[in-house]
Every structure is written in structure tokens, then in C-alpha cells.
Structure 1
Amino acid sequence: MLEQIVVDEAVRALRPDFAVLVLIAEGLTNGPGDEESASWLTAAARTAAPDDPHVESWREAYRAFGAKPNRTRPSVDALLRRADSLPSINRVVDAYNAVSVEYALPIGGEDLDTYAGPARLVVADGTETFGDDEAPAAGEVVWRDDEGVTCRRWNWRQCVRTRITESTKNALFLLERLEPYPLERLDAAGEALATRLRAIAPDVEITGRLIGG
């Protein structure tokens, strides 16, 4: 799966500076949010920087494909705006939300076992499906698999089908970067997430791949 994940050339043309660090974690033992995972969110909130230049880069990327970032915010923008009140979801989701806030970085978390074929980032043609009664607009940047769209507007909203639950055993994480975000900081975010996942499941196996950059 890791080597089959692709970023379409149409997306590269839109933002040649885009890079995504893909992590696959196998053998997770997830569970409800607890005191430790809540502490990750609290600590991250103390470092939250809503004015980080990376947030504005994502707003510009949204405008480039016709989205209005004040109405449908990039995920990192939305998280940073409510960093002081982020709810605990489950241990794995708390882990990647905390890293997203701390590093001002969009991070998507997906249940790998619910995927139909590999993930790929494409420009929608308007015929794709997102759930039962919603479809992306033509020209919208989306993550998808063989069954349909898994995340609309690059990293705005994830579908129900692939989201991480307390029973998730194997997960896919997408850490997304635009300039001027340093690749070294992207790598550090990946290490921080891996450390959190190992705290949750010491025997987890984590592999990674950088696409772009």
C-alpha cells in the first residue's frame, strides 16, 4: 500500500511545493481517550500558533481550487482556532490532533482496513462520491480510493467510512506540507506522532514515505 499512494500531476501543477509524509501504523491497540491522551491535547494547546505562516499557505491553496477558506477551513486552521477546547475522541485521534496543533500541520488519520485500494490525491472531475448524498465539485482537490472520496477539499472533511475508531488496528496518516514549512519540521512532526503511537501500542510497526518535497 505505501508505495502505491500517489499525488496526481494535476495537484502537483496546482501546488508544486506540496509534500506529504505518509505513515502506516500496523498493530495498534486503540481505545477511548484517557488522561494521557487528554494531556497531549492540553500541552499542544499551550503552543498553538494560529498565525503560523503555514496556515496562510493552506488558505492560499484552497483559494486556488475555488474553495473559500473562511467558510470551509483547512483542517489545521480549524484545529488551531479551537485548540483550547478540543474534545478527546480516542487515543489515536487525540495523538494526531495534538501533533497537528503543536506543529501547525494538517494531519489526516484513516482506518487502513476500510480502504478499497490505495489512497491518492487528485483533482475531482465531479463524478466522485463522498458518502451517500454528497459529491465534490469539479476542480476540488480530494483524497480518494477505489470506492470514493475519503477527504474533501484536500484536508477539510473526512468521510465516515474511513475514520479511525476505538477498534482500529491499522492506520494511515497523511502529514501535509506547503512552503514555507521546512521539511525538517515535517520529519519532526512524523517522529512526534510515531512516539505517541508507540506510547499507545508499544508493539506497533510504523513505516513511512515522503512524497514530493
Structure 2
Amino acid sequence: MLTIEISENIKSHCPDFVGVAIMATVKNTKYNPDLWNEINSCIEEYKRTYKIEDIKNISGIQATRNAYRRLGKDPNRYRPSAEALGRRVLRDLPLYQIDTLVDLINLVSIRTGYSIGGFDADKIDGDKLILGVGKANEPYEAIGRGLLNIEGLPVYRDLSGGIGTPTSDNERTKIDLGTTRFLAIINGYDGKERLPETVNYMQSLLTRFANSDGGEVIYF
């Protein structure tokens, strides 16, 4: 049974933070056309709704950016993933097509403004994660980005080190086509109010596109 703890550093700097984890048994696939129909519909709606200068005012994104500032990180240099995805959409750049689980996470992130960590639970070292703050020169290999300076970023750590930040997850615990135990962590730096709706949406997508019963939900 995985447990997640919040460090005192995060509690003091980000008092509104509420996290929620979804742990589910899944079947991953390389590509799901029905999911991509939903993604493309979401992209078109996003383009009708937002201009690029609006993105940073979306509740979840704004709150995450404010958390970065309070922890000493420049959110314009290290953008939360939800913001980076939204900016990509509005710049008419195609979204990366990775696999069904990662694509699904990106869809939820775009629609809700939450930066969401996605992990292969079998690659996590130990049965506990701690949400803390990145340290100077702490080693961290971000997915597709190489070494990332996580000093001042919120970071989830297992026994072997950092596995996820709102900017990028770590190569060590990333999802792949062999993933059968899926962990998603939704980072609610703007509080709990919108989290239940987001959880329900992700669970529905897991049921429809990843052969899952929706999994177990843990608020922390």
C-alpha cells in the first residue's frame, strides 16, 4: 500500500495544497484513435476559449506558478507541465503522441490546468513517497530533457530519489508499454474544490481507454 506524505517545507510555503493519487491496474497501448478524437476535440475547444496570455491565469496553473515563486523558482523558466501543454496547443504545435496512458494524462492536464505526474508504480522504490523541495545539485533526469535543475521545485521522492515534479517526471519511473500498475498524482496547489471532478474524469478515461476499473483514490 503506497502512502504519500507532505513535508513541512511544502506545508508552510503552499498551505492550500491538496494532492490526490489514483492507483489503477491498466493495459497500456501504443495508440488509441478514440482517445485522440477526444484529445483533438479538447484542443479545438481550448483554442476557442483561451489566448496565450490567458493560460497563466487558469486556476491550477496560476496556483502552481505561485508555489514555484514561494519556493524560489522562476515559473517562466521552469513552466508547470499544464502550462507548457497549453502554450503548445495555442502555438499550433502538435502534441506529442507517446502512448495511451501518457496521452490520457496530457488530456486531463490540458482540460483541467493541473500538472499531473504519471508513474509506473512497479518502478517506485519502497512504499512511501514524500513531497518535498528540490535541493541544489540534486540529480534528476527528466523525461526527454536530460538533467533538470530541480532546486526550488516541488518534488516527490521515493527511497532512491526524486521521481516527479510539476515540470517533468523522472526517466527512472516513467510509464511504458509494459506498465500494468499505474500511478497518477494530481497536484492541487489551488486547493481541493476542483479535484473530485478531475479524479472522476481521469477514472472515466482509464475505464474507457486503459481497460481499468478506475482504481483506488487517495487524497493527501
Count residues in correspondence.
205
TM-score w.r.t. length of structure 2 = 0.84
Match of 1:41 among 39, 42, 53: 39
The residue that corresponds to 1:59 in the other structure is 65
Q: Secondary structure at the match of 2:173?
A: coil
Instruction: State the alpha-carbon separation in 2 of the partners of residues 184 and 55 from structure 1.
Output: 15
Residues 40 and 94, structure 1, Cα contact 8 Å, conserved in 2: no
Q: Secondary structure at the match of 2:132?
A: strand
Structure 1's consecutive aligned runs of 4 or more residues displaced over 6 angstroms after TM superposition are: none
The alpha carbon displacement at 1:169 in A equals 0.4
The alpha carbon displacement at 1:41 in A equals 1.6
Residues 206 and 214, structure 2, Cα contact 8 Å, conserved in 1: no
CA, structure 1 residues 198+29, in 2 after alignment: closer, same or farther (shift >3 Å)?
same
Q: Secondary structure at the match of 1:55?
A: helix
The alpha carbon displacement at 1:127 in A equals 6.5
Match of 2:139 among 129, 132, 143: 129
State the Cα deviation string for residues 162-188 of structure 1 (Å, max 9, x = none). Answer: 111111100110111122x6x342111
Matched, 1:18 2:17: yes
TM-score w.r.t. length of structure 1 = 0.86
The alpha carbon displacement at 1:23 in A equals 0.7
State the Cα deviation string for residues 31-79 of structure 1 (Å, max 9, x = none). Answer: 1122112123212213334241332222111111221111110111111
Residues 73 and 152, structure 2, Cα contact 8 Å, conserved in 1: no
The alpha carbon displacement at 1:141 in A equals 2.3
Instruction: State the alpha-carbon separation in 2 of the partners of residues 161 and 78 from structure 1.
Output: 22
1:90-109 matches, cutoff 5 A: 90-109=99-118
State the Cα deviation string for residues 133-188 of structure 1 (Å, max 9, x = none). Answer: 8475554421111111112xx31111111111111100110111122x6x342111
Matched, 1:195 2:204: yes
The alpha carbon displacement at 1:203 in A equals 4.5
Instruction: State the alpha-carbon separation in 2 of the partners of residues 140 and 105 from structure 1.
Output: 16
Match of 2:87 among 58, 81, 88: 81
